[in-house]
DNA sequence: TGTACATCAGTGAACGCGCGTTCACTGATGTAC
DNA sequence: TGTACATCAGTGAACGCGCGTTCACTGATGTAC
């Protein structure tokens, strides 16, 4: 078997997703269509519809896999860190590194899909990031009421930098160590602000 | 004249851009092609090539106009503010408001164009934001050496939030006043960090 | 243990569509004499 | 002031292409008896 030409493919669904991810790595979201991917896997376009409702849902699945790959890299980066602050930095850095090292995958991960995936992301990049914020809360550096706001802020900063730095704009930010480290420093400052929101209120006046 | 059917259109270039922006407002980047826009302006597709080298360069021009509209709204928002901090907040808020109020235009403004525009953005959203950071520097709240880093950080945060909040992700951040205000507070904290980088270094140890 | 048959996972040809772009052309405009 | 002509800005038909999707089909697989 193995190299025998088989009529039945074996695991076409997985093969399509793999081909999609490979193409995403190489060229981004441009070619993630039914005909293209069917050709890549040496299968007729019709066969795709045995495994996906439509081209759009195939794309949604590929996009989800890209997000999950991002989440895995974030988990891997966080694994070795114990300190709350370092855990957050590791998450942020992994997010940014993913965007810089795999711009195609990153773009595909966040293309606007008409159709959402039917299962939840697992692991979920958003959850990994939020968990790192919850850790900060557990360490009493922020309050429970702040968690959502902080998560939005942190996510926005990291995602924005990743998007801009990985883009084609001539004004795009530098991507050296210093810039990224500085960005995470400033993000950390924004997260804990002036200790906590309450103490900030006490120490400062209005505005 | 006026409602007379003219063979010569008059100002087809401008008409194409206007139609493109209108379509961008309504439906985003999906339909900004030669055939579609030619039809919208009631002109044969070929006529487009009298004014643009290719469909791609037409798209690049539309995208540029969208960015310039963003920049104008930022300028308008900043006009009434004198305080450095409020000027920055106004810029950031205008950026976010634009993304929320005109998601189509915002998406078009930042689509990855293969081909860059031939003239510089004018006004340029990036420059407006950077100018607001320079103001902060002039007010001695940050140092000249920090300006680029701060600009990257501020841009990333605001752009990231705008992108995520305007997207379709079910986890997307809330877009109420409180969330946005909090985001700008935290961004401000990150900008000025602990007063200035030097004083921070003095007060804190390594890491 | 072998055979009949339902089910499943593919094939291959064809569809209509919109895309960007080209061609040879023609109607309108403006300028030189 | 009128006419001839170059130039410019459009027309309309046609290209090849890749897209998503459908159709009637056939080869392979697995299960019942």
A12 CB contact with strand C at below 7 Å: yes
Q: State yes or no: pLDDT of B8 exceeds 80.
A: no
CA dihedral for A126, A129, A134, A137, sign (positive or negative): negative
**pTM for the model:** 0.92
What percentage of chain B has pLDDT greater than the value 70? Answer: 90
Give, in Å, how far the C1' of D24 lies from the CA of A47. 15
Token pair of B73, please?
């709204």
- Residue-wise pLDDT for B167-194, tens only, equals 988 899 999 999 999 999 999 999 999 6
**pLDDT value at residue A53:** 96
Confidence band, pLDDT 50/70/90 cuts, at residue B82: very high
Q: Which residue has the higher pLDDT, B204 or B23?
A: B23
| Residue contact A156–B170, C-beta within 8 A | no
Return the closest nucleotide (C1') to the Cα of A49: D21
Pick from A130, A15, A144, A124: nearest CA to A68:
A124
Confidence band, pLDDT 50/70/90 cuts, at residue B198: very low
Q: How far apart (Å, rounded) are the C-alpha atoms in residues B88 and B189?
A: 12
- Residue-wise pLDDT for A68-120, tens only, equals 999 999 999 999 999 999 999 999 999 999 999 999 999 999 998 778 888 99
Could you tell me where the DSSP H helices lie in chain B? 12-27, 34-40, 45-48, 55-79, 84-101, 103-109, 125-138, 147-166, 177-192, 197-203
Q: Assess whether the previous peptide bond of A40 is cis (omega < 30° from 0).
A: no
- Residue-wise pLDDT for B30-71, tens only, equals 999 999 999 999 999 999 999 999 999 999 999 999 999 999
- Residue-wise pLDDT for B89-114, tens only, equals 999 999 999 999 999 999 999 998 77
CB B21 within 8 A of CB B59: no
Q: How far is B188 from chain A (nearest CA, A)?
A: 7
Query: What is the signed CA dihedral for A159, B78, A148, A73, rounded to 10 degrees?
Result: 10
Choose the mutation target among B70, B152, B154 for the interface with A, i.e. most A CBs under 10 Å.
B152
Give every residue of chain A whose pLDDT is below 50, as ranges. Answer: 1-5, 195-207
What are the residues of chain A with a beta carbon less than 8 Å away from any beta carbon of chain B? 85, 107, 110, 112-113, 116, 126, 148-150, 152-153, 155-161, 163-164, 167-171, 173-174, 179, 182-183, 185-187, 189-191, 193-194, 207
Q: How far apart (Å, rounded) are the C-alpha atoms in residues B20 and B196?
A: 45
A134 CB contact with strand C at below 7 Å: no
DSSP, collapsed to helix, strand or coil, labels residue A60 as helix
**pLDDT value at residue B6:** 62
Name the residue of chain B whose CA is nearest to A173's CA: B152
Residue pointed to by tokens 């934001």: B129
Token pair of B119, please?
């003239």
Q: State yes or no: pLDDT of B206 exceeds 80.
A: no
In terms of phi and psi (left: phi > 0; alpha: psi -120 to 50; beta: otherwise), the region of B147 is alpha
Give, in Å, how far the C1' of C25 lies from the CA of B51. 19
**pLDDT value at residue A207:** 38
DSSP class of residue B28? G
Contacts of A161 in chain B (CB under 8 A): 152-153, 156, 160
**pLDDT value at residue B154:** 98
Name the residue of chain B whose CA is nearest to A191's CA: B186
**pLDDT value at residue B169:** 87
**pLDDT value at residue A201:** 42
Ordered domains of chain A (ranges, CATH)? 66-206 (1.10.357.10)
| Residue contact A164–B155, C-beta within 8 A | yes
**pLDDT value at residue A194:** 66
**Cα–Cα separations (whole angstroms), residue B145 to A81, A145, A161, B25, B179:** 31, 36, 20, 39, 31
**pLDDT value at residue B78:** 97
Q: How far apart (Å, rounded) are the C-alpha atoms in residues B182 and B185?
A: 5
Confidence band, pLDDT 50/70/90 cuts, at residue B115: confident
């Amino acid at each position: 078997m193995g190299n025998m030409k088989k009529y039945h493919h074996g695991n076409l669904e997985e093969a399509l997703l793999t081909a999609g991810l490979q193409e995403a790595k190489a060229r981004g979201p441009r070619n993630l269509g039914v005909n293209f991917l069917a050709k890549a896997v040496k299968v007729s376009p019709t066969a795709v519809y045995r495994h996906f409702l439509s081209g759009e849902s195939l794309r949604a699945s590929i996009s989800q896999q890209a997000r999950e790959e991002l989440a895995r890299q974030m988990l891997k980066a966080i694994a070795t860190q114990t300190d709350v602050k370092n855990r957050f930095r590791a998450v942020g850095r992994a997010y940014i590194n993913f965007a810089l090292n795999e711009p195609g995958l990153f773009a595909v991960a966040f293309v606007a899909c008409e159709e959402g995936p039917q299962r939840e992301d697992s692991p979920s990049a958003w959850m990994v990031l939020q968990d790192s914020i919850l850790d900060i809360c557990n360490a009493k550096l922020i309050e429970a009421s702040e968690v959502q706001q902080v998560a939005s802020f942190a996510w926005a900063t990291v995602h924005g930098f990743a998007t801009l730095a990985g883009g084609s704009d001539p004004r795009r930010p530098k991507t050296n160590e210093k810039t990224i480290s500085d960005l995470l420093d400033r993000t950390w400052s924004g997260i804990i602000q002036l200790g906590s929101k309450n103490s900030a209120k006490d120490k400062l006046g209005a505005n």
